[in-house]
Amino acid sequence: MCLAIPLRLVSVEGKHAVGEAGGLTQNIRIDFIPGAAPGDYVMVHAGFAIEKLTKEQAEENLASLQADIDAF
């Protein structure tokens, strides 16, 4: 099973960025997201941002993940 997680970009330096969700940070690559900037939300899979999201989309995804965790 593959899982992608929405993260908020905290910092961007070239093709590298730091993403954050739930107080945890992750170093990621943003090669596929032209113009990515701090504050943007992205879907991350295997260390790569694969899609840009709105804040609402990211929050909805995170809420769904949290509901699944709570149900487990």
Listed residue (44, 50, 37, 38) closest to 62, CA to CA:
44
pLDDT 10s digits, 14-71:
999 999 998 999 999 999 999 999 999 999 999 999 999 999 999 999 998 888 888 8
Look up the pTM and report it. 0.90
pLDDT for the residue 70 = 87
* Domain total in the chain: 1
The residue with greater pLDDT, 72 or 27, is 27
Q: What is the pLDDT of residue 65?
A: 85
What CATH number does the domain containing 16 carry?
2.30.30.140
- Strand segments, DSSP code E, in 1-72 are 5-13, 16-21, 24-29, 41-45, 48-53
Cβ-contact 49, 43 below 8 angstroms? yes
- Which range of residues forms the domain containing residue 18? 5-71
- The residue behind tokens 């899609």 is 51
